Amino acid sequence: MHYDTSLNNHGLKFNPFKAIAVPRPIGWIASLGADGARNLAPYSFFNAVSDRPPVVLFSSAGRKDSLANIEATGEFTCSLATWDLREKMNLTSAPVGHGVDEFELAGLTPAPSRMVRVPRVAESPAAFECRYWKSVELPTAPRGETHTVVFGLVVGVYIDDAYIRDGLVDTGAMRPLARLGYMDYAVVTPEVMFTLNRPRVGPDGRTAQVDAGPWDGVYR
Ligand SMILES: Cc1cc2nc3c(=O)[nH]c(=O)nc-3n(C[C@H](O)[C@H](O)[C@H](O)COP(=O)(O)O)c2cc1C
């Protein structure tokens, strides 16, 4: 099948777009209102888009509290949403009133950050501390909501030392969640991870070969 996104003539029960743009990491975004009110919500239109400087972005469908808070205060954190925290993460997506603290709603502990005033989720094994860079409003589709992409510079990174082994982050042990389509999710575990070495280019610059086996620790 093929469909035209301006017509959305896919004929399926639901728009299939998000079931194909997978797996999406979940940014569990904490922010503070100008009045100091704490806020926490998951965003799966979220990703890291550069590592030097480290930059993340997320997209808000409509003007939600996270967007308004971050534009007003200039800071946010993104905690890693993991298998153990899946139900609490989901609870923090409830569209409760502005003054409601989703840390309290979901029984989560705010831990102080080092470089921003916004706390991170203490129960999460890793978090980014972010300084707001800019918002970009996306083109509005017919009958669509406004979508605003928020960019943040990651100024500090928290990692629970228990997940650092032999100088590497043990991502599989953290069991990060990924968002799929519909109400589906996936989880990264050691069993589903695999390694592929980058190709080495031959001396003539026209051939490439890949070394089998574990990574030799060199980025190519
Ligand atoms: C896993 C997950 C991912 C979500 N991703 C997004 C997203 O990318 N953009 C968005 O606008 N809402 C997303 N939502 C819905 C928001 O979390 C929800 O609207 C929340 O109430 C927003 O909170 P806020 O107003 O405090 O920012 C997601 C919900 C869940 C459970």
Alpha carbon distance 162, 129 (integer Å): 20
Residue 215 falls inside a structural domain: no
How far away, in angstroms, is 41 Cα from ligand 1 center?
6
How far away, in angstroms, is 42 Cα from ligand 1 center?
5
How far away, in angstroms, is 43 Cα from ligand 1 center?
5
Residue 62 falls inside a structural domain: yes
Report, as an integer, the average pLDDT of 77-81. Answer: 98
Residue 218 falls inside a structural domain: no
Alpha carbon distance 5, 177 (integer Å): 28
Residue 164 falls inside a structural domain: yes
Residue 214 falls inside a structural domain: no
Q: How many CB atoms lie within 10 A of CB 118?
A: 25
Residue 145 falls inside a structural domain: yes
pLDDT in tens, 141-186: 877 789 999 999 999 999 999 999 999 999 999 999 999 999 999 9
Nearest to 66 by CA among 96, 22, 87, 90: 96
Give the domain CATH number at 52: 2.30.110.10
Question: Which of 60, 93, 184 has the most ligand 1 atoms within 8 A of CB, as the residue to mutate?
Answer: 93
- Global pTM exceeds 0.85: yes
Number of domains in the chain: 1
Residue 208 falls inside a structural domain: no
Residue 60 falls inside a structural domain: yes
Pocket flag, ligand 1, residue 45 (CB < 6 Å) = yes
Nearest to 148 by CA among 4, 35, 43: 43
